[in-house]
Amino acid sequence: MSDAQTGELSGKVAIVTGSASGIGQGIALGFLRAGARVIAADLNANVETRNLAARERLEGQLHEVRADVTQEDDIARIIEAAQERYGRLDIMVNNAGGSGALEPILDIDAKGFDLTFALLVRSVFLGIRHAGRFLKAQGEGGVILTTGSIAARAGGCSPSLYAAAKAAVVQLSAMSAVELAPYSIRVNTVSPGPIMIPGFASSGISAEQLIALQPWPEAGQPSDVAAAMTFLASEKCRFATGSDWVLDGGILAQGPLWLERLYGKST
Ligand X SMILES: NC(=O)c1ccc[n+]([C@@H]2O[C@H](COP(=O)([O-])OP(=O)(O)OC[C@H]3O[C@@H](n4cnc5c(N)ncnc54)[C@H](O)[C@@H]3O)[C@@H](O)[C@H]2O)c1
- For residue 267, the minimal CB distance to ligand X (Å) is 29
* Sign of the four-CA dihedral 226, 230, 232, 236: negative
The residues with which 28 forms a beta bridge, in sequence order, are: none
| Long-range CB contacts (within 8 A, 24+) of 254-260 | 254/214, 254/215
The question of whether 162 is a catalytic residue gets the answer: yes
Q: Pick the closer one to ligand X by CB: 46 or 61.
A: 46
Q: Pick the closer one to ligand X by CB: 199 or 215.
A: 199
DSSP assignment of 159-191: -HHHHHHHHHHHHHHHHHHHHHGGGTEEEEEEE
- For residue 140, the minimal CB distance to ligand X (Å) is 27
Assign 29 to helix, strand or coil. Answer: helix
Q: What is the DSSP letter of 237?
A: G
The secondary structure element, H or E, covering residue 153 is none
Catalytically annotated residue among 86, 162, 183, 263: 162
Assign 56 to helix, strand or coil. Answer: coil
Q: Pick the closer one to ligand X by CB: 36 or 170.
A: 170
- For residue 235, the minimal CB distance to ligand X (Å) is 25
- For residue 210, the minimal CB distance to ligand X (Å) is 8
Give residues in contact with ligand X (CB under 6 A).
Answer: 17-18, 20-24, 42-44, 67-70, 95-98, 119, 147, 149, 192, 194-195, 197-199
Q: Pick the closer one to ligand X by CB: 44 or 209.
A: 44
Taken as a whole, the chain contains a residue count of: 267
Active site residues: 162
